[in-house]
Amino acid sequence: MTWVGASSEPLLPAVGPPPTERSDAARNRARVLEVARGLVAAEGVAGITMDRVATESGVGKGTVFRRFGSRAGLLRALLDDTEREFQGRFLSGPPPLGPGAPPLERLVAFGRERIAVLSTQSELLRASAVPDENHYAVPARRVAALHVATLLRQAEVPGDVPVLAFELLAVLEAILTAPPGARPPIDRLADGWEQLVRSLDRPV
Amino acid sequence: MTWVGASSEPLLPAVGPPPTERSDAARNRARVLEVARGLVAAEGVAGITMDRVATESGVGKGTVFRRFGSRAGLLRALLDDTEREFQGRFLSGPPPLGPGAPPLERLVAFGRERIAVLSTQSELLRASAVPDENHYAVPARRVAALHVATLLRQAEVPGDVPVLAFELLAVLEAILTAPPGARPPIDRLADGWEQLVRSLDRPV
C-alpha cells in the first residue's frame, strides 16, 4: 500500500534543502525570492515581471535570468521556497503552528495556515507551467499527511487516524483542484476547517 | 460568487435525461450499458471490449460501434449513465440513501455510496479519455453539493453549511484526484466519512 499516511518512513522535508551555492549568489537568490514573494502577496502572481523583480531586489536582470531561466522558472522556485518556508514553520516554528501548543490547537493552526499557503500555491501552479500538479502536490502532501496524523494521535482523536488524515488533507487541497472562483473565500474555508477538527475532538 | 453550494438555483439533474430515441434503439442502448456496468463491477474497466459487450448483450457489434463510436465513447456513456443512476437513487430512491430516513443517516449513506461510485468513476475517467476531469466533476459536484447542504440543514448541523458541504465533498472527491494506489481502501474511507459526519452532529 503506497498511500501517504500508511507509511512509517521518517519525516523528511518534501522539497529538500536549497542547493549549495556561493554566498553572494545565495544572497542574491534569497533577495530575489523575497521580493517576488512580497509582490505576490501584494498584487498576486500578475505583479511579477522579471524587470520589476530585478529592479526591486537590486540584482541585475541578466543575473535573474541566468539564475531562474524564465519567469516560469522564477515562479517554480517561489513555489518550492514557499513550501519549504511553510514546512519550517509547522515543524519547528513558534506555536501554535509549531511545537509547544496543544496538538489540537496546532492542527487548527495548520489548516488555517495551509489554506492561506495553498491559495497562493494554486495561483503559482497555474502560472508556472509545472507539467503536472502532482509534481508539487505529492511530495508536499507526504510531509503534511504525516504531520496531521501525528497531531491527531497526540490529540487522542479516536478512529482510523491515517484515513482521517487523508480525508482532512483533501479538505485543504480542494483549494488546489477547484477552478479559480469555484471555491468559498479562504476565511470561511478556514472557519469550516476549524469546525471539522474541533468536532472530531469531542467525546463520542 | 460562483462556487457550488452558494447558489440557490433549482436542483437539476447534472447530466440531463437520456436522449430521446426509438424504443428498440433505447432498449439496445440500455442492454449494452447494463452489460458494460456488470463487466466493470466484476472485472474493472479492463473487462470491457466491444466484442464482449456486443456478444453478451446480444446486440450486433456494428450497432454497438454506430451507437457509441468507440470503446472510449462507450466508457463515457457508462460514466454518464452511472452518475444518472446514482442521482436517481439519492434524490428519489429507497432510504437510507433516498427520502424517508433521518437526514444524518441519509448523509452517512450518501458518502458511503458516493465513495463506491467514485472509485468506479475514477477508473472510467482515466480509461475514457474525457478531455478534462472537470468535464465530469463540475456538473456532478453541483447536484451533490446542493444535496449535502440540504441534508446538513435538515440535520440542524450548526455553522457555515455551504462551506461545510464544499469541504465534505472534497473528502469524497479525493478519490477522483488521488493517483491509483495513492488512497486508502474504500471501506476505510467510508468509515472515516461516517466518523466525520457523525462528529459534526454532536452537541457543541
- Convert the pLDDT of each residue in A52-96 to its tens digit: 999 999 999 999 999 999 999 999 999 989 899 999 999 999 999
Residues B38, B119: one domain? no
User: What would the DSSP string read from start to end of B118-157?
Assistant: HHHHHHHHHHTT-S-HHHHHHHHHHHHHHHHHHHHHHTT-
- Considering A69, A104, A126, which residue would you say is the last residue of a domain? A69
Average pLDDT, chain A: 85
Residues A119, A47: one domain? no
Q: Are B145 and B137 in contact (CB under 8 A)?
A: no
pLDDT at A182: 79
Q: Are B103 and B200 in contact (CB under 8 A)?
A: no
Residues B181, B140: one domain? yes
Inter-chain touch B189–A167, beta carbons under 8 Å: yes
| Cis check: omega of the bond before A96, within 30 degrees of 0 | yes
Average pLDDT, chain B: 85
Residues A105, A161: one domain? yes
Residue percentage of chain A with pLDDT more than 70: 83
Is the pLDDT assigned to residue A13 strictly greater than 50?
Answer: no
Task: Tell me which chain A residue has its CA closest to the CA of residue B169.
Answer: A171
Residues A95, A26: one domain? no
Q: Quick one: average pLDDT of A170-190?
A: 84
Q: Which of A164, A174, A199 is nearest residue B170 as measured by Cβ atoms?
A: A174
Q: How confident is the model at residue B86 (pLDDT cuts 50, 70, 90)?
A: very high
Does residue A144 sit within a domain? Answer: yes
Q: Quick one: average pLDDT of B92-115?
A: 95
Residues B63, B112: one domain? no
Inter-chain touch B193–A2, beta carbons under 8 Å: no
pLDDT at B140: 78
ipTM confidence score: 0.80
Does residue B16 sit within a domain? Answer: no
Residues A182, A89: one domain? yes
Q: Which of A138, A167, A178 is nearest residue B192 as measured by Cβ atoms?
A: A167
Question: Alpha-carbon distance B85 to B163, whole Å?
Answer: 27
Cα angle A75-A139-A81, degrees, rounded to a multiple of 5: 30
Q: Express each pLDDT in B10-60 by its tens digit.
A: 333 455 555 566 788 889 999 999 999 999 989 989 999 999 999 999 999
Residues B56, B79: one domain? no
Question: In terms of residue numbers, what domain contains A180?
Answer: 71-201
DSSP state of A94: S
Residues A28, A123: one domain? no
Q: Is A130 helix (H, G, I), strand (E, B) or coil?
A: coil
Q: Is A101 helix (H, G, I), strand (E, B) or coil?
A: strand
Q: Which of A164, A183, A195 is nearest residue B192 as measured by Cβ atoms?
A: A164
Q: Are B66 and B114 in contact (CB under 8 A)?
A: no
pLDDT at B138: 67
Residues A191, A102: one domain? yes
Inter-chain touch B182–A3, beta carbons under 8 Å: yes
Does residue A160 sit within a domain? Answer: yes
pLDDT at B136: 63
Question: Alpha-carbon distance A122 to A128, whole Å?
Answer: 10
Interface test with B, best of A171, A172, A194, A202 (most B CBs within 10 A): A171
- Cβ-based interface (< 8 Å): residues of A facing B: 1-6, 134, 138, 159-160, 162-164, 166-167, 169-171, 173-174, 177-179, 181-184, 188-189, 191-193, 195-196, 199-200, 202, 204
Bridge partners (DSSP) of residue A99 are A101
Q: Are B117 and B143 in contact (CB under 8 A)?
A: no
Q: How confident is the model at residue B5 (pLDDT cuts 50, 70, 90)?
A: very low
Chain A residues whose CB is inside 8 A of the B5 CB are 184
Instruction: State how many domains chain B has.
Output: 2
Chain B residues whose CB is inside 8 A of the A5 CB are 184
Q: Are B36 and B53 in contact (CB under 8 A)?
A: yes
CATH number at residue A27: 1.10.10
Cell of A103: 496538538
Q: Are B50 and B61 in contact (CB under 8 A)?
A: yes
Q: Which of A3, A160, A182 is nearest residue B183 as measured by Cβ atoms?
A: A3
Residues A56, A100: one domain? no
User: Chain B closest CA to A64's CA: distance in Å?
Assistant: 35
The sign of the CA dihedral A8, A111, A123, B133 is positive
Q: Express each pLDDT in A114-168 by its tens digit.
A: 998 888 888 888 888 776 666 666 677 788 999 999 999 999 999 999 999 999 9
- Cβ-based interface (< 8 Å): residues of B facing A: 1-6, 134, 138, 159-160, 162-164, 166-167, 169-171, 173-174, 177-179, 181-184, 188-189, 191-193, 195-196, 199-200, 202, 204
pLDDT at B162: 94
Q: By CB neighbour count within 10 A (0-12 exposed, 13-18 middle, 19+ buried), where does B203 fall?
A: exposed
pLDDT at B29: 92
Does residue B14 sit within a domain? Answer: no
Q: Express each pLDDT in B121-133 by its tens digit.
A: 888 888 887 766 6
Inter-chain touch B183–A196, beta carbons under 8 Å: no
pLDDT at A50: 95
Q: How confident is the model at residue A174 (pLDDT cuts 50, 70, 90)?
A: confident
pLDDT at B8: 40
Residue percentage of chain B with pLDDT more than 90: 59
- Considering A40, A69, A98, which residue would you say is the last residue of a domain? A69
- Considering B29, B51, B69, which residue would you say is the last residue of a domain? B69
CATH number at residue B164: 1.10.357
User: Chain B closest CA to A129's CA: distance in Å?
Assistant: 17
Does residue A184 sit within a domain? Answer: yes
Q: Quick one: average pLDDT of A176-200?
A: 87
Is the pLDDT assigned to residue B9 strictly greater than 70?
Answer: no
Residues B75, B167: one domain? yes
Question: Alpha-carbon distance A146 to A165, whole Å?
Answer: 8
